[in-house]
Amino acid sequence: MLNNASKYALGVAVLGVLAAIAASDRAAAVVLVGVAIVAAVIAYGEGRSVGPDLAPFAAPDAPVTTTPVDPADVPSGSIGPMVVGLGAAAAFAGGGLGPRWVLVGSLFALVGVGIWTFDTYRTPGVLDARDATNVDHRLVSPIALPVGAFALAILIAFCFSRVLLAVSETASWVIAFIVAAIVLTILTLIAQRVPTSRAVAILGAVGLVGTLIAGGAGASAGERDFESHATVFPTATILAKGIAFDRKVMGLPADSDAEIIFTNLDVGTFHNVAVYSADERSLPLFNGRPIAKGNEIYKLHTPDPGTYTYVCDFHPAMVGELRVTEATESSEEGHE
């Protein structure tokens, strides 16, 4: 049977579906359908868990019944809901103020939920022992167990990685193989003969403490030196300031992949670096993307050895000479 709360939620679901049908934007339609689904789930939950909220039928001549209320049965006030509301408001305001507000608001809301739950548990007469056990079994345990297991797995993986990164490459895979074999052996023994809970707890505690100690030692020792396999490109640097390049000559090796690191200090004014043949500027050999500020790394394949011209396409007076030499020669000319 539908109660008032489920009727309101079901109405929101229907309005969400109708609005999604009428929406012309696909993203808006997806959001509205999501709202409708959430509202429908809430309506179902309210109808199934709360039940009818109508007053029971009473005959006109039925005697009046009274239920005494003990002041101890009234729960004391809690600031938890207010903290949750403030945190939620800050989190929603973060959509316009920045991600820091979202993070701070979310933390406030979590603290409020904790305060609210604590106040509910400590209020006398609100929850008896059986209700508290049901809450633990149906709410706390299903959330705490997977979250705790995930956090423990991340902690163990982090500590173990510190050890593997601190030792040599050969020692790292040897240690990993030995530890994996030990873990597999222990799990096999547990599966064949289930030990007592105390033995499992002691074994797990010893393993966790050993992992933490080894991880701390590995972190303090630092990582081993890794061989870099990154490709090093010939590089030339140039900057634009005051509608002028800071250099008149650049040098790069011929027939190779190279980089030109360009910095535009004229904020708000577009500049770029384009490379042309010295005697023909109609067709650029390379045309860099224009920027109005900041840095840009141009990647190009250099032409044959020779002398070329680099210029800003927006300001023809900004011009310089690019000297492309054989790869065995110096690839970078000095400032001129």
Could you give the CA distance from residue 170 to residue 104 in angstroms, rounded to a whole number?
45
Q: What is the rounded average pLDDT for all residues in the chain? A: 78
pLDDT category at 335 given cuts 50, 70, 90 is very low
Amino acid letter for position 40: A
Pairing mode, strands 286-287 and 249-253 = unpaired
Nearest to residue 185, comparing CAs of 203, 163, 210?
A: 203
Q: For position 127, what pLDDT does the model report?
A: 56
- Tell me the CA distances in angstroms from 336 to 247, 251, 318, one per residue in order: 6, 12, 14
What's the confidence (pLDDT) of residue 237?
93
Q: Where are the domains of the chain?
A: 4-49, 74-120, 139-221, 235-325
CA distance 161 to 154: 10
Type of residue found at 336: E
Cα(55)–Cα(127) distance, integer angstroms? 25
Tell me: the pLDDT tens digits for 279-320?
777 778 999 999 999 999 999 999 999 999 999 999 989 999
In three-state form (DSSP H/G/I as H, E/B as E, the rest C), the secondary structure along 200-227 is: HHHHHHHHHHHHHHHHHHHHHHCCCCCC
Strands 286-287 and 235-240: unpaired
Share of the chain above pLDDT 90, in %: 22
Cross-strand pairs, 320: 310
* Crossing angle (nearest 10°) for helices 99-122 and 80-97: 170
Q: Examine the pLDDT at 90 and tell me if it is beyond 60.
A: yes
Say how far apart CA 238 and CA 83 lie, in whole Å. Answer: 54
CATH 3.40.190.10 fits 235-325, yes or no: no
Instruction: Judge contact between 224 and 161, C-beta under 8 A.
Output: no
What's the pLDDT tens digit per position in 150-200?
A: 777 888 888 888 888 888 888 888 888 888 888 788 777 777 766 566 666
